[in-house]
Amino acid sequence: MSTRVYIETLGCQMNVSDTERAATGLRKAGYDLIESVENADVVLFNTCSVRERAEQKVFNRIGEVRKLRGRDQPLVGVMGCVAQLEGEAIFDNAGAVNFVAGTQATDRLSSLIERAQSGEAHVLDLAERADGEVWDISPVERHSPYVAFVPIIEGCNKFCSFCIVPYSRGREKSRSAKEIIVEVEKLKDAGYQEIHLIGQNVNSYRPKTQEGLEGFEGATPFARLLRAVAATGVMRVKFTTSFPRDFHPDIVSAIEEYPNLCDWIHLPVQSGSDRILQSMRRGHNAADYLGRVERIRNSQRRLALTSDVIVGFPGETRVDFEATLKLIEQCRYDSLYIFKYSRRSGTPAAKLEGELTTAEMSERFLELEQLQRSLQKEIYADYVGREVSVLAERPSTRSAEDMAGHTTCNKVVNFRGGIETQGKIVNVLITEAKNNSLYGRAC
């Protein structure tokens, strides 16, 4: 019988994509990929280290699995960002772990499992990707049959002072445009309706050659790639995350030219205070960011804008926080991810003085959340009575008669419509606005 592997994914879209790639390689090597931890011979955790709590989660989960499996313990592996950062130390922190695979070891997992199966203790691989490795994801491993994540750039060169990503995922490395276009064309032919171009900073995309971009204009390689991907004719193209400093107005022009480039931009601002932005080493100030937002707001299409903010960065005063509140009011985001600052050892910010107390951070978090909720309420209410296009992804978890999916502007919509709509793009008349979703009926 083949070895049964269960992979549990914690973290961002990049991790979801890495899991898809890992599963593809393991299945090719003869492993059986299963959906539950109970019968697995190997349990593999794909981990996130952006915040301390995410990092702690994997150690809690390992404890839970050990308890659940009693005397029948599986082999346990840790892959992803925590694996890359902690390396050898994971074996000290969690005695149950048999192997550790860094962020670039995805294609070597089968040999690491074999080594652990043959009795080798503390198997470790933190090496870089080997030359010639291709991004190969089989359709059966994709997280959805309708929406596909296509990584276009790995790693990060930005070194924001709070962020661990450059250390966990290495330097920026862009995939060839030709390879990306071929993948998108295949996905389109296989019936995928929505493609998400993903990366820590998609708009910093810089391939080694222009191959695949010939015939497509654009002020930056990413703007050219957007036009090239749109020209494949795939129904919907979304992209995330965009880094403000590299956000060229030509991205908005491309969205205006191609209706299948979706009307949604995620542009994390992190703070509204110039002093804090400088200390975060973001490379932009509030005015610069607002200038880029102005182009988005002046677009011929109504573009949804979303963002990330960190509250309680070391040294953040009440005045700094009020600058953030002001910027949030100005930007009127369609949604906002608010994070309490989490000290990440090894980052420059970890050495800064002036950390806020947990109570102070929570207070600011709640205040900002309340402001965003009131702004979002108005934005969502404005959709009532409008028709939107929704990709029906799955039956709704709330009601057996409803389907759930996303608009082109990435809002969640639950709607009255039969299961026969699944996988299709349907027009939905919005009848009700909730805090973080819309409700309507197929029309």
Q: How far apart are CA 23 and CA 28, in angstroms?
A: 8
- Give the pairing type, strands 437-442 and 425-433: antiparallel
DSSP 3-state of 189? helix
CA distances from 427 to 256, 386, 388, 389 (A): 21, 10, 6, 5
For the bound state, the minimum distance from the C-beta of residue 24 to ligand SAM, rounded and expressed in Å, comes to 24
127 closest CA partner among 147, 141, 107:
107
Residue 74 interacts with ligand SAM (CB under 6 A)? no
Q: How far apart are CA 231 and CA 258, in angstroms?
A: 8
81 closest CA partner among 137, 33, 126, 131:
126
Residue 269 interacts with ligand SAM (CB under 6 A)? no
Q: 305-344 mask for ligand SAM (x: CB under 6 A)?
A: ---x-x----------------------------x-xx-x
Residue 241 interacts with ligand SAM (CB under 6 A)? yes
Stretch that binds ligand SAM, among 59-67, 159-167, 214-222, 399-407 (CB under 6 A): 159-167
Stretch that binds ligand SAM, among 161-169, 171-179, 221-229, 388-396 (CB under 6 A): 161-169
Question: Which residue in 104, 106, 174, 270 binds ligand SAM (CB under 6 A)?
Answer: 270
Question: Which residue in 58, 78, 81, 163 binds ligand SAM (CB under 6 A)?
Answer: 163
Angle between helices 318-331 and 358-381 (to 10 degrees): 10
Is the Cβ of residue 78 or residue 165 nearer to ligand SAM in the bound state?
A: 165
Query: Given CA atoms 98, 104, 105, 107 in this order, what sign does their dihedral have?
Result: positive
Question: Which residue in 15, 84, 201, 335 binds ligand SAM (CB under 6 A)?
Answer: 201
Beta bridge partners of 414: 404, 439
Contact 281, 256 (CB under 8 A): no
Stretch that binds ligand SAM, among 83-91, 157-165, 168-176, 228-236 (CB under 6 A): 157-165
Residue 165 interacts with ligand SAM (CB under 6 A)? yes
Residue 439 interacts with ligand SAM (CB under 6 A)? no
Residue 273 interacts with ligand SAM (CB under 6 A)? no
Beta bridge partners of 304: 264
Residues that bind ligand SAM (CB under 6 A): 12, 50-51, 160, 162-163, 165, 200-201, 241, 243, 268, 270, 308, 310, 339, 341-342, 344
